[in-house]
Structure 1
Amino acid sequence: MSATTYANNSELDLNAFARTYFNSMVVTQAPNATAKDIEAYLSLLTDDIGHTHLPYVTDDSRQSNGKELMRKGMTFYLGAHTKYEAQLLDVFTFNTSAVAIRYKNKAEGIHPQNQQALAYSQVMMEVLEIEDGKVAVIRKYHE
């Protein structure tokens, strides 16, 4: 599904949108992910996306270049995982303005900055605020 399918919030099936978002995000984390996969994911976001990933990124202010900042960060980590798997656990919808996804993921790889091995397994929840059929703010939480 493309972001253009989601023309406005009143017609948006948040459950389907959340599943599309999750699947697109998972593809970007795979060892064989490409820049095209990142662009498919980014197509679901507003240009001025706000993003937190507590406790690492705490400012969720929307910025005019928010999508470009996400692209830069995602490209930096592209291909860092040698193994990645994720399982969607829950989808919670809140009227037509927000959806939360809860999932567990497991990854191994090499950090692109310090070349150190990385490995993690965690349960995450992302709260997605929706505006005009796209994600306007992402708030990520660890369980």
Structure 2
Amino acid sequence: MYYVNVEQIAVRLQAIDEITKALQELSRQWQGSLLQGLAQERALHLAVETVTDVGSYIIDGFIMRDASSYEDIIDITGEEGVFPADMQPTLMKLVKLRKPLVQQYFEWQRAELHPLTTELASLLPAFKEAVEQYLKREL
């Protein structure tokens, strides 16, 4: 029997609505200010953490193979059909941002609108829906 922590998954999925709203607003109003740059960094970082946290809970709950990296979380959940295959390349680009955002933040180009800021505004809600459908199907 599996123990899938659906409560914690749901809490993290709820964060997607606010993250999406922030990404949309940043995309629409981008002027490259310092404040916008810092807000973009945080929104992208929250997107990374949300996607990987959800993936980790699913991997642990359904006793899938152990993930050895953030990229592995995307590979495993993608292979298991948690989200559609066409989402995987963008999700992989997202998790690869973690190191620059967390460890190389001093090199981040704050004045530039990152391409994922616009792309994630539509992908994250679809990811949320895919995860919810997966859980309904598997539980």
User: Structure 1 length as normaliser, TM-score?
Assistant: 0.32
Structure whose residues are more often strand by fraction: 1
User: Structure 2 length as normaliser, TM-score?
Assistant: 0.33
